Amino acid sequence: MKSLKQFVSVFCLGLLLSACSSQSNKPQFVIDPPSEAQIATSVKEQVSLTLNAFTPVAGQALPNNSVLTAYKARGYEPVWIKNKTIDMSIYKLVDILQESHTHGLNPIHYHTDIIKNYLELKQPSSQQLAEMDVIATIALTSYAHDLSNGRYEPLLIDPNWQLDAPNNNWKDLLYLDSAASMVNFLPLLAPRSPQYQVLQKWLVYYQDLAAKEKDILVEAGVPLSLGDEGPRVAQLRARLVQLGDIRFSTRKVQEDRFDARLKKALRNFQRRHHLIADGSAGSKTIEMLNVSLTARAKQIAYNLERWRWLPSELEANRIWVDLTNYTVDMHLNGELTSMKVVIGKPERKTPVFKGLMTYMVTNPTWRVPHRIARENLLPKLQSDPNYLLKHGYKVYSSWSIGAKELDSTKIDWKNINPEKLTYRFEQEPDEGNALGQFKFMFPNKNEIYLHDTPAKHLFRERDRAFSSGCVRLEDPHEFAKQITKGSKSYNEMLNKLKSHSNSVVSLPSYIPVYLVYFTVVPNANGMPEFRSDVYQRDSLMEEAMGYIAFKPNESI
């Protein structure tokens, strides 16, 4: 609360200064005395005080220490004042900060109103000029950081979100030779992914549309399909036009008749909302159609922030586990190969993180993790003491090296408390092994890996969140082929499979693995694809970000 009160105090100071200024809105570029030495002295006095007043709150990663370091490096020379003239770049900075909503960021975090109040002063003192200089630099630096790395700390939002790849490129702009260079450097800090850029354009579309128009809603009722007529059909058509699924055309149509063109547009809408694309507007489709423009804008903003948590540039060769699409994409040697995956069920979420795949195991033994042993295996043993023998498991006295193998039929499983279960369970390699013939390792604290599975029927499901956290592959043989193609490791892998041996095969080159979670992505046609939030992570984003910013009504 202290930092908030300090912020309010500074803001009120800005308003007071504005009230005492000239009534003219014309910018005052040339400064009468004080001297530059006086301004520099005031900057040195004000920088720590002002930084303290703008202390970050609620986990917002404002890089104030970088501002202090940069001012020290420049001998507290002001950034925005040269030869008694306010640099015109500060006006461009304010414009950029006011447009931060186009990246899903909130302009209020970058103090634009306060900066404008200082700029409107007719005869600012050295202290006022110093305050303006420091606040503008704080705003510049905060925006640079947020645009590059994201404003929020992912682990503070979601403990299962462990992918945070910050970079320090944003700090470089503080050491450029002019304010103009600093401001011009800002746009280069946004993520370079084409997906980010497309989503940003759709965010602006939804923001502008929500500001100008009301949502066109489709009334609930019986499903609408080809050949139907009436006002609800007209509502459906108008909504699909509003959302961009029907492009404007001068061709005359019967607005209230469900024709083939409307069916095609509706199927496109259904595909990009992960609905069954039958071209009929049933209750689920109407529910998706009636999600407000504002809600969709928020959802896009959350996903732009997720992109900022990724490295600014992705490796050309990488494995991309797309959790909300239930797929893995192998970007290897200039080619893309994709296949279906099964991910963790909602109560056992697959975490988001980055690893480095270094080896695979053929015909693996499955060492059952503690949690799965407690929650899954023990209840089965308590119902059937012979369960381990039937399914190829061995049990050991402990997890220590050299632990003694035990006879599972002589253990009183019914009287074992799950919290006190200390046995180690291992499933031998065979056709029924939970890991199948392969597991692909990228060592991590979560003990997550990609693997084969005997439960092939699950890949026929539309939504595939069934595992205990690890990722099951639809075609592990093809996956193994792709990551070893053209190397000795490929032949080694084939020989190990034929011999049915439990063996480690090192990869010819290590491959970055990303497990990612996006609820909005551009589809192949550049339209926003809204996916099911299987792990309810958007609600955590909403709680942390809690806003959607629209274009300000006024500009400097």
pLDDT tens for each residue of 152-203: 889 888 889 998 777 888 999 999 999 999 999 999 999 989 999 999 999 9
Residue from 111, 103, 119 nearest 140 by CA: 111
Is residue 194 within 8 A of residue 277, CB to CB? The reply is: no
Q: Which two tokens stand for residue 472?
A: 């099951």
Residue 25 pLDDT: 46
Grade residue 111 by pLDDT with cuts at 50, 70 and 90. very high
Residue 304 reports pLDDT greater than 90: yes
Instruction: State whether residue 470 is helix, strand or coil.
Output: coil
Residue 98 reports pLDDT greater than 70: yes
Residue 230 reports pLDDT greater than 50: yes
Residue 155 pLDDT: 87
Instruction: State whether residue 406 is helix, strand or coil.
Output: strand
Number of helices and strands in the chain (H, E) = 20, 17
Instruction: Name which residue leads in pLDDT, 551 or 382.
Output: 382
Residue 153 pLDDT: 86
Mean pLDDT of 400-412: 91
Q: Are strands 366-367 and 424-427 parallel, antiparallel or unpaired?
A: antiparallel
Angle at 306 between CA 332 and CA 349, to 5 degrees: 80
pLDDT tens for each residue of 19-42: 333 333 445 455 555 566 666 677
Grade residue 431 by pLDDT with cuts at 50, 70 and 90. confident
Q: What is the DSSP letter of 352?
A: B
Question: Please, what are the domains in the chain?
Answer: 2-190 (no CATH), 197-295 (1.10.101.10), 371-428 (no CATH)
282: Cβ contacts below 8 Å, ≥ 6 apart: 223
- Beta strands of 291-403 (E only): which ranges? 318-322, 327-332, 335-344, 353-362, 366-367, 393-396
Instruction: Name which residue leads in pLDDT, 450 or 429.
Output: 450
**Percent of residues in the chain assigned helix, strand, coil, to nearest 5:** 45, 15, 40
Q: What is the DSSP letter of 219?
A: P
Phi, psi dihedral angles at 141 (to 5 degrees): -70, -40
Mean pLDDT of 99-113: 93
- When the pLDDT of each residue in the chain is averaged and rounded to a whole number, the result is 87
Give CA–CA dist 129/40, Å, rounded.
10
Give CA–CA dist 493/504, Å, rounded.
9
Q: Is 352 left (phi over 0), alpha (psi -120 to 50) or beta?
A: beta
Tell me which amino acid residue 501 is: S
Q: What is the DSSP letter of 224?
A: B
463: Cβ contacts below 8 Å, ≥ 6 apart: 326, 532, 534
Q: What is the DSSP letter of 402?
A: T
Residue 556 reports pLDDT greater than 50: no
pLDDT tens for each residue of 476-528: 999 999 999 988 998 888 888 888 888 999 999 999 999 999 999 999 999 99
Residue 4 reports pLDDT greater than 70: no
Q: What is the DSSP letter of 438?
A: E
Grade residue 369 by pLDDT with cuts at 50, 70 and 90. confident
Q: Which of 59-63, 99-103, 213-217, 366-370 has the lowest mean pLDDT?
A: 59-63
Instruction: State whether residue 523 is helix, strand or coil.
Output: coil
Is residue 101 within 8 A of residue 207, CB to CB? The reply is: yes
- Whole-angstrom CA distances from 521 to 280, 306, 327 are 24, 11, 14
Q: Which of 19-33, 81-95, 278-292, 403-417 has the lowest mean pLDDT?
A: 19-33
Please list the active-site residues: 451, 470
Residue 249 pLDDT: 65
Q: Which of 53-67, 110-124, 201-215, 485-499 has the lowest mean pLDDT?
A: 53-67
Q: Is 76 left (phi over 0), alpha (psi -120 to 50) or beta?
A: left
69: Cβ contacts below 8 Å, ≥ 6 apart: none
Grade residue 63 by pLDDT with cuts at 50, 70 and 90. low
Q: Which of 26-40, 319-333, 372-386 has the lowest mean pLDDT?
A: 26-40
Mean pLDDT of 248-257: 79
pLDDT tens for each residue of 432-473: 788 999 999 999 999 999 999 999 999 999 999 999 999 999
Mean pLDDT of 238-251: 86
Q: Which of 14-28, 101-115, 269-283, 305-319 has the lowest mean pLDDT?
A: 14-28
